Chains A and B, each alone.
Chain A
Amino acid sequence: MTASNNTVIQLNHVNYFDGDVHILKDITGSFPEGKITTLVGPSGAGKTTLFRLCNGLISPKSGEIYIKNKPITDYEPTTLRRNIGLALQSATMISGTVFSNLALPLSLQGKQLKEEKAKELLRDVRLDEEFLYRNVKDLSGGQRQKVSVARTLVNRPKVLLLDEITSSLDRVSQQDIEELIVKINQKYRTTIIWITHNLQQALSVGDYTWVMMNGEVVETGETSLLDNPQDERVKQFVEGVNV
């Protein structure tokens, strides 16, 4: 994938260190606008760090990141983060109810979320309306992940960074979320970048795929590359995960 007018995020020789540990090594690549790109690879490959860089939570130690052909540093951080939504696997919640969590993105802007809109968000992620005023302490891991995705959608981001958002869900719920994300992508042309360990999921929803290992991008291309990887390490990884 090369930089073009259709590129929403472009990374050029991006390096990131945590202390002395080299987490991301000379990452160069781009994410096409309006498409679903999946990020696959073993744990510790640097995928979540890449998301945190794209959301502006951290900055690279060297290299450049461009958002819509403008350096990421040209964007005001709050505007950038509202437009590049991030839903993490940990599905961190603020204490309170599901509603207070869904209302959080707007309350940070001094706005209010209407109850009807909150119920619509819950329906989108296949959660019953009765969850709206339930305390988040009483939610299961899967329910938290659904609320986390719904909360990220409140800002109507142009790019959605999804970090293993279905890892705690049963198969039926996984399919529900996959359908929802594909629907959002098609309806709003939202760019989706999705970290998943589920290669079947990557194959069914993704247009493009990045395979990351040990802080490097090992292989990129159309998602079908997972059926026939060129790199020996990717072959071993795919066989190990057993598509």
Chain B
Amino acid sequence: MSYLTLALALIFVLIPILLSKTLNLGLEKDTIVAVIRSTIQLLAVGYVLQFVFDSESMIFIILMIMLMIFAATHNARKKGVTIKGITWKLVSTYVFIEVLTQSILLGFHIIPPTAQYIIPISGMMIGNSMVLSILFLNRFTAEIDTHQDKAELILSLGGTPKQAIHKQLITSIQASTIPTIESQKTIGLVQLPGMMSGQIIAGADPIQAVQFQLLILFLVLTSAVVTSAMLGFLSYPSLFNNRMQLLKNDKNT
């Protein structure tokens, strides 16, 4: 695709801007900012990837992955600021997901150990893990606020912090992973995944594209459940002090 052809694709940016202006939706500024940012970011990433692929250096691959983990952590931590040490809990989760998935993929020779495979798959894993952690933290903090009285009831009857928070923890893990599991049930019927579509458009054999897409789907499934569960079990102890008291619970007089 030439840059001229790509420029023609801007028609698809004009449509929402015109609609927003006509219907007074007030989305023009955000749309323009989003388009400019995504264009610059993707082009920059394209050049960086080209450099890393050409260099074939493991150091650059690791640096790219670290950058992804840093960006994902920076974005997700805003949703869990009430949880003490959330930054390191997120970093630990993303590193674990990355190590787990790449160990299996490289260990069993499912993919070759080259930047061309490691970086895009890492991006998808860490990106998916970031979305899952945001969903989980959103739900978990809301559950704690809403059901603080139930957690305190269990503590007051002699329950442990884990028992006090168990219901909220399980509900949050379930709620954050359901979209991933449900979307996989209809994949291929309702929507064709982006990576598979991209490969087919680029001229790849559809069956090979499907095989790679299945690999990604299974990885996404693992990263979804592991992210929520790991983040949950790392986070809940921070909600209590060493006297097994729920922190920030002083609401009755």
Give chain A's interface residues, CB within 8 Å of chain B.
18-19, 23, 44-49, 52, 55-59, 73, 77-79, 81-82, 85-86, 88, 90, 92, 94, 104-105, 108-109, 151-152, 155
Contact = CB atoms under 8 A, between A and B. Distances in A.
Contact of A108 (B150, B163, B245, B252): B163
16 contacts: A18-B251, A18-B253, A45-B253, A49-B250, A56-B244, A56-B245, A57-B152, A77-B245, A78-B159, A81-B155, A85-B157, A94-B154, A104-B157, A108-B157, A108-B160, A151-B157
B253 A23 contact: yes
B206 interface: no
Contact of B252 (A52, A73, A105, A151): A52
Nearest to A49: B253
Contacts of A82: 157-158
B153 interface: yes
- Most chain A CB within 10 A, of B152, B157, B163, B250, is at B157
A92 B153 CA distance: 7
Contacts of A152: 157
A155 B253 contact: no
Given A56-B243, A58-B245, A92-B153, A78 B253 contact: no
Contact of B245 (A47, A59, A90): A59
B150 A77 contact: no
A82 B251 CA distance: 22
Given A57-B155, A81-B158, A108-B154, A48 B243 contact: no
Contacts of A92: 149-150, 152-153
Interface string B152-171: 11111111100100010000
Contacts, number: 74
Contacts of A44: 253
A18 B249 CA distance: 9
A77 B244 contact: yes
Contacts of B153: 92, 94
B243 A59 contact: yes
A77 B252 CA distance: 20
Interface of B: 149-150, 152-160, 163, 167, 243-246, 249-253
A210 to B, nearest CB: 15
B249 A58 contact: yes
Contacts of A46: 253
A57 B249 contact: yes
B33 to A, nearest CB: 38
A82 B155 CA distance: 9
Contacts of A19: 250
A57 B164 CA distance: 12
Contacts of B160: 78, 108
Nearest to B240: A77
Nearest to B160: A78
A195 to B, nearest CB: 11
B166 to A, nearest CB: 10
A8 B233 CA distance: 37
Nearest to B152: A57
Given A58-B250, A92-B150, A81 B157 contact: yes
A135 to B, nearest CB: 16
Nearest to A78: B158
Contacts of A45: 253
A46 B250 CA distance: 12
Contacts of B252: 48-49, 52
Given A77-B244, A78-B244, A90-B149, A104 B249 contact: no
A73 B243 contact: yes
Contact of A55 (B149, B156, B249, B253): B156
A64 B48 CA distance: 62
Contacts of B243: 56, 59, 73, 77
Q: Which 4 A-B pairs have the closest CB atoms?
A: A82-B158, A77-B244, A108-B159, A18-B250
B218 to A, nearest CB: 35
A52 B243 CA distance: 13
A58 B159 CA distance: 15
B157 A48 contact: no
A108 B158 contact: yes
Nearest to A16: B250
A155 B158 contact: yes
Nearest to A44: B253
Nearest to A94: B150
Given A92-B149, A92-B153, 19 more contacts: A18-B250, A18-B251, A49-B250, A56-B244, A57-B249, A58-B245, A59-B243, A59-B245, A77-B155, A78-B244, A82-B158, A90-B149, A92-B150, A92-B152, A94-B153, A104-B154, A104-B157, A108-B160, A155-B157
